[in-house]
Amino acid sequence: MTQTSLPGLFGPIFTLFLVVLGLCVGSFLNVVIARVPAGQSIVHPRSRCPRCGHELSWYENIPLVSWLALRARCRGCKTPISARYPLVELLTGLLYFACLRRFDWTYELVPALVLVSLLVPLTFIDLDHWILPLSMTVSGTLVGLVLAVPRGMDFFRDAALGAAVGFLTFRLMEYVGWKVFKKEALGAGDKYLVAMLCAFLTWRALLGILLFASMQGAVVGILMLLATGRAGPRTEGVPEEEPEGEPPPLTMTWDFTRPGLPLWKRLVLVPFCLLFQPIPDAPLDEEGQEEDWVPDRTSIPFGPWLALAGLELLLLSPWLARVLPADIALMLTGLA
């Protein structure tokens, strides 16, 4: 990688431009966070106040500035506007700046900015709804692979291998977790997010992503459970009471461990079950329909922790390689 710092005044001007671009992208990501889970278009119609329908004009839509100028209230009905809108904008701007510090004006900056712009909305959507939309993770994986091509054949191979190995690792963890604990241990969308992260960061980051995400998720989850009685956020409109008694067991249509199967059928079913058997994410009711899954007190959404681990590996790998013992750094970051 060649460092190409810009001379004189151009440096600060281009840096400022990139941060402002980050703020504007963050403003758009707020729209993505609100509309993608609801299946609405992210281009039409113009942004409105969810309360009174007041349509936002361009000067009410300037990142950070408008929120401050409007004193966090809608101009139509004076309903308070959540501080999360400017926070998402600020976060995206700061992450764009961090990417520039890490990669300077090199080609590597492009995939880094794209990855940040995918991880920010995925994180907030998972916190709000406990889902990771496939429309974002699957297309994100493809974009990651396309952006890997200019970085050379070796990098592209590592990225494609990463997407496949990351997906299969999580798929197997999901399956084994389901067989052992008889309940959904991992969100169904997590495996696609890991595939996406590894399409950008290659298979070399997989172990680091797994370790950082689960360690940080476990520590914060336990602290939150002790402090607030919940390890993860609530979902809107979900009653707080715990369901009474034992939940009904989950059932699968194909199962190679089912008693009474002839050996050959069992053997044929093993790879099929491991790779393709859909895992119901909720117990089935009497009609065989999935009941709405409700996160219990100890559930944590894993997506935000995967996203955080991905960002840490994207931005901090050289630093980790300096401070960690060489072989551990190589294992976690892929950098010697």
Q: Which residues are at the interface with Zn ion (CB under 5 A)?
A: 49, 51-52, 54, 74, 76-77, 79
**Of 98, 302, 119, nearest to 197 (Cα)?**
119
Under 8 Å CB-to-CB from 252, ≥6 apart: which residues?
A: 273, 277, 279, 280
Please say which residue, 49 or 125, places its beta carbon nearer to Zn ion: 49
Please say which residue, 50 or 243, places its beta carbon nearer to Zn ion: 50
Please say which residue, 56 or 316, places its beta carbon nearer to Zn ion: 56
CB of 95 to Zn ion, least distance (A): 30
CB of 50 to Zn ion, least distance (A): 8
**Of 186, 193, 140, nearest to 166 (Cα)?**
193
Q: Which long-range contacts (CB under 8 A, 24 or more apart) does 280-289 make?
A: 280/184, 280/250, 280/251, 280/252, 281/184, 281/187, 281/188, 282/184, 282/250, 283/247, 283/248, 283/249, 283/250, 284/248, 284/250, 284/251
Q: Report the distance separating Cα 109 and Cα 151, nearest Å.
A: 12
Under 8 Å CB-to-CB from 222, ≥6 apart: which residues?
A: 231
CB of 55 to Zn ion, least distance (A): 10
Please say which residue, 49 or 197, places its beta carbon nearer to Zn ion: 49
Taking CA atoms, 11 is separated from 81, 86, 92, in Å, by: 35, 26, 20
Please say which residue, 12 or 50, places its beta carbon nearer to Zn ion: 50
CB of 79 to Zn ion, least distance (A): 5
CB of 77 to Zn ion, least distance (A): 3
> Which tokens hold the place of 3?
């460092």
Please say which residue, 55 or 291, places its beta carbon nearer to Zn ion: 55
Under 8 Å CB-to-CB from 140, ≥6 apart: which residues?
A: 118, 196, 199
> Which tokens hold the place of 81?
């506007």
Please say which residue, 52 or 172, places its beta carbon nearer to Zn ion: 52
CB of 86 to Zn ion, least distance (A): 17
CB of 51 to Zn ion, least distance (A): 5
DSSP E strands in the chain: the ranges are none
